[in-house]
Structure 1
Amino acid sequence: MENEPESAPKSRRWLKRVLIALGGVTALGLAVLVGGYFWLASDLPDTAKLAEYEPPLPSHVRSINGEPISTFARERRIYITYPDMPAPMIQAFISAEDKTFFEHNGIDPTGFINAVMDYTLKIGSGDRAVGGSTITQQVAKNLLLSDEYSVTRKLKEMILATRIEDTFTKEEILELYLNQIFLGRNAYGVQAASFAYFDKPVTELNTREAAFLATLPKAPSNYNPSNARGLERATTRRDWILGQMGENGFLTPAEVAEARSEAIVVQNRREQLTAPSRLGDYFVEAIRRDLIDRYGEEGPNGIYTGGLWVRSTMDPDMQIAAEMAVRDALVRYDRGRGWRGATDTIELGDGWPERLRGVNLPVGYDDWRAAVVLAKNAGRLTLGFADGSEGVLVSGNAQLRDRGGAGTAYNEITAGDVIPVKNTSGNDYTLRQIPEVGGGMVVQEVSTGRVLAMVGGFDARKSSFNRATQAKRQPGSTIKPFVYAAALENGFTPASIVMDAPYCVYQSRSLGRKCFRNFSGRSAGAQTMRWGLEQSRNLMTVRLASKAGMENVVELIEEMGIGSYDPYLSFALGAGETTVMDLTNAYAMLANHGKRQAPIMYDLIQDRRGNAIYRADDRECAACNQQAYTADTRMPMPLDQRPQAMDPRTAYQVVHMLEGVVERGTAVALRRLERPMFGKTGTNNGPTNVWFVGGTQDIVAGFYMGFDQPKNMGGYAQGGTLAAPAVRQFFELALDKDHVSQPFRIAPGVRMVRVDRRSGKRVYGAWPGGGSKPAVIWEAFKPENEPRRVLAQVDNFEAANRSADSRREVRSDSEFLQQEGGIY
């Protein structure tokens, strides 16, 4: 400017100054924009993270047969790849959200300008401006940014969108978007939404159904077709989307008109929530807790985000049988205790079905229903149900006695009472009652420790407390087999004579002198150990515990995983505490020749890609993966390297004696199953708990019944009268006539000898006969304490042992049985 002639007009000099000033402002503006860009971009997340992005996926639990039984999810999502997405669905979402998606580079200029103008007009109004975001921008916001409403966030979103477009293909971006978006009903992604609204996969959706799903990303609650206002809004927006699909060339005018003519029909939300089976609720919850301890809730393998596939050990048929057996046992006991009154009361009048649904009565059985009494007159009750239907209950079907014994339940029921009822026929119902008493059952496979069924109470909706795994209860006489095992490992035999007579002992200064007694209060003198276990004699048990040493007894009990107790004699009669799961597992170990094992609730866990991240059976078998086999090739088997918790011979001796408990002792309730069974009943002081644990060579079931807050169950409550019948019912339901009945396997080294059942003395010239109480039985001995034989005596058995050259070869009875084809 200093070269400008002085004669130049002032206007010209002024114009140059303005142009220079504008240039400076423009440069400054550009610098600010560039600086702002780099400032905004400096703290943005790396779009490369999207390449590693794994959406939160629910974990699925399957039964032992591979059937789906449950899902652990906070976000209901089923991932689907782009090639599996049908064209009409893709076209519907593009038409609704971003019709130029396949053309722009992440930002739609027209949509951006419209959004800026709308934002400017709404400044200060409190209203939220339209988004104007492309699908790519929505991916950036949903996966990499927050939902903050600000210009800064919008600018960051645009920068990220361009980066995403440079990193991924359009198909990959669309796959991320359609699997991430929330579409209502706790459904994330189009596949989950398709099942939530239409109960079918996206591949089976028609055009109008796909268009409806495309209405939901804006605001799923506004387009909820379950109410009239939402249905009207959803229909309007769906029809608009169908029109856009026509304008974009995806549909013909005729196809648009046809799709618009159909009403929106979705799956009923209430039916969707209540339809799934509640089979194995307690089992599934136990698995969930265990998986949380193992993997946590969040993270790559978290149960709510990792998309795990869990192959559980639940056998659906056995689970159904166990649930039926437990519920029936609890109801049988409860019916004798009188009517306790209605479970709840609601106000009648308009809206009573909704109020009844709010009660959520845990009825357990499939044929029980929660009902409200709408009216009472002329010896009948008019019942109302949650779906608005009605039924009838006559006074003759409400004959449960009231607690006072002065009348029947019918006399106490009034209108508005909520009661459980059972359908008998047509529209007729009979009164039922939710039992107060609790109980738990575990069914376990002997050879592996796999839990085949688990029941933790009457209904998980009544109480989530799992009495099979969480309830610590005194096992009573079910602990006795392990006391006898300790005696067998310390020189006793099943034929040893033990006194059944009064027994007192000074325990300690704090506990003082303790005198024990039998359940009956009587004693029987000298008897065999077998007889003492079969008849569950307390006096014989404490004598054996004392002679074997309580330190040895509690050490063995701990080895079997039952519990850790102090060496006091009262623990030999079941004064300690344990769970149904732990005690059932210990009995399974007995039947499996004393091999140490832990309960297994799942065999296999796979991550979302199908990789095995956990196997319950981790035994090595180098030859198992070989492919070349012939008819003469022996199938390779992994080695069983589990350690012994007990001498296998001792374990078999105990099982053999426990067979006598079923045949002649306190568990004769199971004898009618007419198959080899073993087990032991238990009734603790009060009685407050009754037990039975036992089963077959393959399957062991344990069951206990008692109140959650222990109280006297009544003098008639015993393990043999309440618990054993429940386990029998389970086996009757679970094992059909075609189920192979197997004898118990004799442990290597055991000698089977004929003895007199009552005296325990060896018998010659006679064989075990039929009947429930044969005079002669086979008894199991270890070689070192097998009863001595008088070699000079000759009988039929010894004659059969002579060899062809007339030289006598002495064989034990067990060897004779095995070699001559005898079956125990």
Structure 2
Amino acid sequence: MCFKFLIFITLLSVGALVIYLMLEAERPQAQKIIDYQPHLVTRVYDKNASQITEISWEKRLYTPLYKIPKRLISAFLAAEDKHFYKHPGIDILGLLRAVIDNTLRSAWRNRPSGASTITQQVVKNIIVGNARSFKRKISEALTAILIENHLNKDEILEIYLNEIYLGAKSYGVLAAAQTYFNKTLNELTIEECAYLAALPKAPSSYDPMRHKAKALDRRNWVISRMYEDGYITKQELIAAKSTDLITVKNNEENLYDYFSEQVRRDLLEQFGEQGVYGEGLSVHTTQDPELQALTESVLHDGLLKLDRKRGFRGPITHLELEENNIPVTQEEWDKSDLRDTLIMLLEQSTYKKWPLAIILKILPTYNVVGLSNGRIMKLSSYGNWGENAETSNTELIHLSIGDIVFVEPIENDRVTLQQVPELTGGIVIMHPDTGAVLAVAGGFDAKSTQFNAATQALRQPGSCFKPFVYMAGLEKGYKGDTIIDDKEVNIYLGPGLGYYKPQNISKVSYGPTPMRIGLEKSRNQMTVHLAQMVGMQAVGEMAKRFGLYDKVYKDFSLSLGAGETTLLKLTAGYAMIANGGKKVTPHFISTVKDKNNTQIYQHEQGLLPVYQADQLITEYDHSNKPSVFDNRTEIVTQSASREMISFLRGAVLRGTAIRLVPLCEKRKIDFCAKTGTTNECKDAWIIGFTQNLGSENLVIGVFIGHPQPQSMGEYATGSKIALPFMHDLLKKIPTT
């Protein structure tokens, strides 16, 4: 008897030791949950404190348990773990039933049955994952027991309700409530709470758009469980079950525009990936929402208009169709596989805003087309393409049966032909006194490509660089009436390198001419001669001082804009001319606060009111304007800056930007600007600034070119290609 008792005690001790060792092995995993810190969404706001976008690995919004309504908690307890507040982390009887059932069915690697408690689901979601194995189940159970010994039930439930994946990229009940119902948690009805509680088992299987019947069945099952467990009354049961499942449309589209994408890049550089995607930062930016919308619209519509002038380039691709098996009616199209082909091609396309269409039948005045959106529609045989695109709609468009093109619906049964522009470009709008970027657009469509031509494209600025050559002359003591001989250039470059011989665009030499005319008329020969007179060292240092380049270049071709820079840097350079020669740094972010609302970053401000040093002067009423402390670095004298402003005003009144004069006179805008064109007309530019709008003065930069530098064609100059974009902006910018 004693011997048997000794064996029993030994086995019991060994078993306890094994369990202890197994628990200790799981302790590091349990500690991850005990020390749990959720990944929080970083929110980005414009200058008016309205949210622009969110930055996160997934859509996750954290809320403490005391803010979660009891009916929503009840729904999850009824659906997932009715004994949550009674068990030690595992449901022992349920677990034994599941082990026996899975073993008998050999289901461990196929579809094992569950019995996971909420605590076990927390372990699975955060640590062990969804691997289907007996070992994973044991690890999950042991870790759950450890967690229950360190966290109370409410702490575990709070983690669960914020961590659980509920489909549509939404983690946690708060994110899911917004995604499916566009509601706060307190606004959720019983049936809506029940639907959210139905999702953890299989979110995709209960998607309300694709599997509504299954979703309703599962929701109603949860409602029944809520009634059985005493959470709702009989009347509430009947009312909730009889209510239809109505959800809002899930929007999983990339919400970034060019501005917020640049903010994201700047944040990553400053705070790293974990800080940006996981720490719940509040980021206040410099974006002016009205100017941002205007900038995007002008660039998008302007590129379309410019592309139409350059003509239709032909279909995207072509499919050979069987002549006797072409679906030309709506009924035939509904049964055709061609629509699936178009949908597949559209999914592969970088641009998705327009539907694809295939030509099915050609008639004298229109073509019958089948669309990827399921419609049979009419496409006119004529369109507004070519040089007269803005005034004529009579150009015949040559298409064949089987051609696939982009179209845009315009009437009930009609579409118009579209094509993605082959040119791209950028627009930057900046505050001259601070360098704050108020708006930026970097291409035709931010959803198609996040490459930002305004901030990332390194291009030659052409004649837009010339003001910095003339600024070097002003600093050396030259004046606007200083005479420079506009004669042929013939600079020896060294053995084997030949001669540098740039000409004026007119191919004419104009002889001795006042210096300011050289800039107003964009004379290449005068500019190079001036660079010789002041020295390329002085020109290179001036360009570096204005932030265009990081080092000093001494090649004479630099004087005509051969050195590569970005539109953002060039616009900032003009801002420093406009503000009287004071150094500013272009920036998108004003302040950053952490999840505890503590400010962890503020852009260094150059203009500060004396009596309140944490706000910009432009935020004050100018009728009671405070005195200002200006700690900006002076990079050129105010007199030199004023002289250059006069030169650039002349470039509008009498020079290459003269086509802006009627609009500026009509809107009473004092505008100074310079156009630019690179060799072979690869890129077209115009940079300018207002001078009579007080605190609302703006610096605006426009660049147009191919994604990769190549000629846009003869006479594709800054005044012809880029200036119309500036015209459209000046037509709509606020002037009061």
Same fold per superposition (TM over 0.5): yes
Query: Aligned letter for 1:115?
Result: A
* 1:669 and 2:659 correspond: yes
Report the equivalent of 1:318. 291
Report the equivalent of 1:487. 473
Alignment of 1:613-692 (within 5 A): 613-617=600-604, 624=612, 639-671=629-661, 672-674=663-665, 675-692=669-686
* SS of aligned partner of 2:305: helix
Report the equivalent of 1:332. 305
CA drift of 1:693 comes to 0.5
Query: Aligned letter for 1:711?
Result: Q
1:420 and 1:434 in contact (8 A); partners too: no
Q: Distance in 2 between matches of 1:712 and 1:626?
A: 48
* 1:545 and 2:540 correspond: no
Specify whether residues 617 and 391 from structure 1 end up closer, same or farther in structure 2 by C-alpha distance, changes over 3 A only. Answer: farther
Q: Deviations over 1:267-307 (max 9, x none)?
A: 344xx245x8x6x722222222222222222x3x1x22222
Report the equivalent of 1:283. 259
* SS of aligned partner of 2:220: helix
Report the equivalent of 2:20. 38
Specify whether residues 290 and 374 from structure 1 end up closer, same or farther in structure 2 by C-alpha distance, changes over 3 A only. Answer: farther
CA drift of 1:494 comes to 1.5
Specify whether residues 450 and 374 from structure 1 end up closer, same or farther in structure 2 by C-alpha distance, changes over 3 A only. Answer: farther
Q: Distance in 1 between matches of 2:644 and 2:171?
A: 56
* 1:136 and 2:127 correspond: no
Query: Aligned letter for 2:644?
Result: V
CA drift of 1:154 comes to 3.8
1:398 and 1:430 in contact (8 A); partners too: no
* 1:694 and 2:688 correspond: yes
Specify whether residues 345 and 172 from structure 1 end up closer, same or farther in structure 2 by C-alpha distance, changes over 3 A only. Answer: farther
CA drift of 1:76 comes to 1.2
Report the equivalent of 1:605. 592
Structure exhibiting the larger radius of gyration computed from Cα positions:
1
Tell me which moved more, 340-349 or 212-221: 340-349
CA drift of 1:129 comes to 3.5
2:485 and 2:513 in contact (8 A); partners too: yes
Query: Aligned letter for 1:532?
Result: G
Q: Distance in 2 between matches of 1:503 and 1:39?
A: 87
Q: Deviations over 1:709-735 (max 9, x none)?
A: 333223222111221221121121222
1:398 and 1:431 in contact (8 A); partners too: no
* SS of aligned partner of 1:382: strand
* 1:180 and 2:163 correspond: yes
CA drift of 1:548 comes to 0.7
Q: Deviations over 1:575-606 (max 9, x none)?
A: 11111111111001111122222210111222
Alignment of 1:170-319 (within 5 A): 170-227=153-210, 230-269=211-250, 272-273=251-252, 281-297=257-273, 299=274, 301=275, 303-319=276-292
* 1:434 and 2:456 correspond: no
Query: Aligned letter for 1:419?
Result: F
2:112 and 2:132 in contact (8 A); partners too: no
CA drift of 1:692 comes to 0.5
* SS of aligned partner of 1:411: coil
> Cα RMSD (Å) of the superposition?
3.0
Specify whether residues 537 and 433 from structure 1 end up closer, same or farther in structure 2 by C-alpha distance, changes over 3 A only. Answer: same
CA drift of 1:565 comes to 5.0
Alignment of 1:769-808 (within 5 A): none
Query: Aligned letter for 2:676?
Result: G
Query: Aligned letter for 2:589?
Result: Y
Query: Aligned letter for 2:270?
Result: R
Q: Distance in 2 between matches of 1:684 and 1:214?
A: 62
Q: Deviations over 1:554-574 (max 9, x none)?
A: 111011111245312211011
CA drift of 1:613 comes to 1.8
CA drift of 1:461 comes to 4.0
Q: Distance in 2 between matches of 1:433 and 1:244?
A: 55
Q: Distance in 2 between matches of 1:203 and 1:376?
A: 58
2:108 and 2:133 in contact (8 A); partners too: no
1:580 and 1:703 in contact (8 A); partners too: yes
In structure 2, list runs of 5 or more residues that go unmatched.
322-326, 328-332, 389-393, 616-620, 692-696
2:407 and 2:415 in contact (8 A); partners too: no
Report the equivalent of 2:63. 80
Q: Distance in 2 between matches of 1:590 and 1:252?
A: 73
* 1:95 and 2:94 correspond: no
Report the equivalent of 2:732. 733
CA drift of 1:146 comes to 4.6
Report the equivalent of 1:4. none
Q: Distance in 1 between matches of 2:449 and 2:309?
A: 22
CA drift of 1:373 comes to 3.6
CA drift of 1:103 comes to 2.8
2:360 and 2:368 in contact (8 A); partners too: yes
Query: Aligned letter for 1:356?
Result: L
2:383 and 2:396 in contact (8 A); partners too: no
CA drift of 1:173 comes to 1.8
Alignment of 1:703-722 (within 5 A): 703-722=702-721
Q: Distance in 2 between matches of 1:661 and 1:61?
A: 39
Q: Deviations over 1:117-168 (max 9, x none)?
A: 3344345775443332221232233335454545554444444434433433
Query: Aligned letter for 1:716?
Result: Y
Q: Distance in 2 between matches of 1:459 and 1:702?
A: 18
Specify whether residues 552 and 31 from structure 1 end up closer, same or farther in structure 2 by C-alpha distance, changes over 3 A only. Answer: same
Q: Distance in 1 between matches of 2:176 and 2:60?
A: 8
* SS of aligned partner of 1:503: coil
Report the equivalent of 2:324. none
Q: Deviations over 1:490-509 (max 9, x none)?
A: 12112211111223222322
Among 418, 436, 439, the residue aligned to 2:405: 418
CA drift of 1:256 comes to 1.7
Tell me which moved more, 19-28 or 464-473: 19-28
Specify whether residues 245 and 329 from structure 1 end up closer, same or farther in structure 2 by C-alpha distance, changes over 3 A only. Answer: closer
Question: Which contiguous aligned blocks of 4+ residues in structure 1 show a shift greater than 6 angstroms?
Answer: 619-622, 634-638
2:405 and 2:418 in contact (8 A); partners too: no
Alignment of 1:159-174 (within 5 A): 159-174=142-157
Specify whether residues 171 and 530 from structure 1 end up closer, same or farther in structure 2 by C-alpha distance, changes over 3 A only. Answer: same
Q: Distance in 1 between matches of 2:34 and 2:605?
A: 34
CA drift of 1:54 comes to 1.7
1:436 and 1:707 in contact (8 A); partners too: yes
Tell me which moved more, 505-514 or 346-355: 346-355
Q: Distance in 1 between matches of 2:605 and 2:105?
A: 65
Tell me which moved more, 253-262 or 120-129: 120-129
CA drift of 1:400 comes to 5.4
Q: Deviations over 1:300-340 (max 9, x none)?
A: x1x22222222222222212222222233323332233221
1:624 and 1:637 in contact (8 A); partners too: no
Specify whether residues 689 and 128 from structure 1 end up closer, same or farther in structure 2 by C-alpha distance, changes over 3 A only. Answer: closer
- TM-score normalised by structure 1 residue count: 0.79
CA drift of 1:372 comes to 4.0
CA drift of 1:212 comes to 1.4
CA drift of 1:534 comes to 0.7
Q: Distance in 1 between matches of 2:515 and 2:613?
A: 49
Alignment of 1:556-595 (within 5 A): 556-563=542-549, 564-595=551-582
- Residue identity over aligned pairs, in percent, reads 36
Q: Deviations over 1:80-109 (max 9, x none)?
A: 221221222111100011112223333334
CA drift of 1:355 comes to 4.0
CA drift of 1:182 comes to 0.9
Report the equivalent of 1:799. none
